[in-house]
Amino acid sequence: MNNVTLVRKEPSESLFREDGLRLDGRGLDELRPIRMEVGVLNNADGSAYVEHGKNKIVAAVYGPRELHPKHLALPDKALVRCEYRMATFSVEERKSPAPGRREVELSKVIRESLEPAIFVYKYPRATIDVFVQILQADGGTRCASITAAALALADAGVPMRDLVVGCAVGKIEGKVAVDLSDVEDKLGEGDIPMALMPTKKVITLLQSDGDFTPEEFKQALEMGIAACEKIYEMQRDILIERYSKVREEVAEEQEEE
Ligand code: CDP
């Protein structure tokens, strides 16, 4: 697959190449290249780094831990807090360092996508804090943030009923396509960001921007779920790899003792 994204300058040009593929060489149901790493930060309880296309995202998780200020505590479950922030250098036009309306909204959306997967009732009055930093944005950052944050939660050992995976599906020039890049997001006709708890088959995020016919929406959902399942395989593999290493390290330490 050719993963060089050609940035279109002229909105009048097509989002498809002459050979029918998308500008970055993908088919309609093809994901961008994805790379994941867990345990990338020393000072968080759990962390992950995800490259999804040209998106570069770090997620850090703290908790479950004592909540300050205490009056925010929930009597029956843990409070999940999420902070999504874009670095000033993450987008083409310098982003103001002050959190904007979009970041506040995406923080809420990401938190609501993750919470159904967490056993929050195990930790009354505690908090679980999720921080997401976008180092480089290329369309679909909320979805890739959900994938990264779920990995960081798992890395922190937060008890979860499932992982959570995010992926957007959209419409470009009348065709439903998965995982829109920045240029497709900006110039396409619609965007449906979604998140899935893959083994429970529960959708925890479904937004829609643009016009979709009922048939297109159904097709988008099916393609989105299939895309999320592919990303889930990668999440699972990277966590298995991480915990195999941890197990080896623990065994070595025990042998030395
Ligand atoms: O990132 P996501 O698609 O979840 O959210 P969006 O609000 O639909 O933003 C789409 C894309 O626009 C982002 O991924 C960035 O690449 C870009 N963007 C930007 O260029 N400047 C901003 N201040 C915010 C977003």
Domains of the chain by residue range: 34-252
Spell out the alpha helix ranges (H) of the chain: 101-114, 141-155, 182-187, 214-256
pLDDT of residue 257: 81
CATH for the 34-252 domain, from 3.30.465.10, 3.40.30.10, 1.10.3720.10, 3.30.230.70: 3.30.230.70
pLDDT of residue 245: 85
> How close is the Cα of 138 to the center of ligand 1, in Å?
7
Residue whose CA lies nearest to ligand 1 atom number 14: 139
Q: Out of 96, 106, 171, 182, give the residue to mutate to test ligand 1, the one with the largest number of ligand atoms within 8 Å of its CB.
A: 182
> How close is the Cα of 139 to the center of ligand 1, in Å?
5
> How close is the Cα of 161 to the center of ligand 1, in Å?
30
Place of tokens 């497709």: 184
Threshold 0.85, pTM exceeds? yes
Q: Residue 220, class by beta-carbon neighbours within 10 Å (0-12 exposed, 13-18 middle, 19+ buried)?
A: buried
Residue whose CA lies nearest to ligand 1 atom number 7: 102
Q: Answer whether the bond into residue 11 is a cis peptide, omega within 30°.
A: no
Residue whose CA lies nearest to ligand 1 atom number 21: 91
Residue whose CA lies nearest to ligand 1 atom number 18: 91
Ligand 1: residues within 6 Å at CB? 91-92, 95, 102, 137-142, 182, 185, 193
CA distance 245 to 242: 5
pLDDT of residue 98: 94
Q: Answer whether the bond into residue 64 is a cis peptide, omega within 30°.
A: yes
> How close is the Cα of 137 to the center of ligand 1, in Å?
7
Q: pLDDT 10s per residue in the chain (257 long)?
A: 444 455 554 556 899 999 999 999 999 999 999 999 999 999 999 999 999 999 999 999 999 999 989 999 999 999 999 999 999 999 999 999 999 999 999 999 999 999 999 999 999 999 999 999 999 999 999 999 999 999 999 999 999 999 999 999 999 999 999 999 999 999 999 999 999 999 999 999 999 999 999 999 999 999 999 999 999 999 999 999 998 888 888 888 888 88
pLDDT of residue 2: 46
